[in-house]
Amino acid sequence: MPTYYFHIKHAARVIIDPEGGGHEDLEAAKQEAQESLRELVAQAVLSNRPDIPLAIVVCNVDGEVLASVATDSAIPQIARQVEPSSESPKDGT
């Protein structure tokens, strides 16, 4: 099982994954990166932290970039699940 490293990219820094993790293939690693990114963004928003991750860069053991999962590609899936109603709120009067 190949080892993939998930480096978390912020606007001003990159947090390096020193351990990596085994995944069946690159597609499985990208799916895991997308799920991890959603969790990281949710934690940042709920904690009111201004430093929201921009992406997770997926690398192999040689440090070669194999894929990048951007926040804007991970978050729209959440937004579609919780679309606001097109109706304006009624004031009850």
Assigned domain for 65 exists: yes
Assigned domain for 54 exists: yes
Helices 71-81, 26-46: axis angle to 10 degrees equals: 70
Residue numbers of the domain that contains 72: 3-81
Assigned domain for 91 exists: no
Distance CA 57, CA 66 (A): 8
Tell me the pLDDT tens digit for each residue of 13-53: 999 999 999 999 999 999 999 999 999 998 988 888 888 89
Assigned domain for 74 exists: yes
Residue 84 confidence (pLDDT): 52
- What share of the chain in percent tops pLDDT 70? 80
Residue 71 confidence (pLDDT): 87
Specify the DSSP class assigned to residue 25. S
Distance CA 42, CA 36 (A): 10
Assigned domain for 88 exists: no
User: Does the pTM of the predicted model rise above 0.85?
Assistant: no
Based on the structure, what is the number of domains in the chain? Answer: 1
